[in-house]
Amino acid sequence: MHLILFGAPGVGKGTQAKKISEEFGIPQISTGDMLREAVRNKTELGKQAEAIMARGELISDRIMLNLIKDRISRPDCANGLILDGFPRTIPQAEGLTGLMDELSLPKFTCIEITAPEEEIIQRLTIRMTCSRCGKDYNPAIAPLPKDMKCTVCGGDIIARKDDNEDTIRNRLKVYQEQTAQVKDYYIARGAFFSVNGNREVNEVYRSIHDIISNL
């Protein structure tokens, strides 16, 4: 099972990807998490990406496809995977199709999650993250630890630099101008579904689960 979770920043792709991963035993591949890890580790890619991400702009297609190729070639992806936050442009979608052909892997099913823009902004401006391991915390879903320490590694829970309102609005603008076109790419290939993400997390997951069960 090869899935793409598609939608604007803040619609809940990461939350739903984790639930799918846990139930079906396939890895969640988040390009955002991969990039933020590179930034934290101060790799060469991380240094290049940090300024771009802070502005809410997109990393180049070449860099993203190289990251994806390396990741999906690993053994844990043998039975399927979930792409969270990729592809974001038509060239990335075309590159991903070529990559799947090159690796003799089946085509992706794309599931879109939708939510109103103001709801997305409200969600993202309260989202927090661990400064050490990158785990996301959202007080709208679950209360934050009282000591503001990560429950995984003990790092400090802080606001993400790219989750201020101006940057979020720019990210949504970039999404509408560049990423939303990817929807048409997958609709044309008959592998596209859409669910309403402006509901309680488990309700959204039930809709996604129904789609997966009927694939």
Which residue among the candidates 13, 36, 71, 123 is catalytic per the annotation? 13
The per-residue pLDDT for range 88-98, each reduced to its tens digit, is 888 999 999 99
Q: Does residue 199 have an active-site annotation?
A: no
Classify domain 2-116+165-213 by CATH architecture: 3-Layer(aba) Sandwich (3.40)
pLDDT tens, residue by residue, 92-145: 999 999 999 998 989 899 999 999 999 999 888 898 999 988 888 988 778 999
**pTM tops 0.85:** no
Among residues 36, 71, 123, 171, which one is catalytic?
A: 171
| 40-45, long-range: CB < 8 A, 24+ apart | 40/132, 40/134
Residues of each domain in the chain carrying CATH 3.40.50.300: 2-116+165-213
pLDDT at 37 over 80: no
For residue 52, the model assigns a pLDDT of: 80
From the candidates 40, 160, 169, 183, give the one annotated as an active-site residue: 160
Active site residue 13: yes
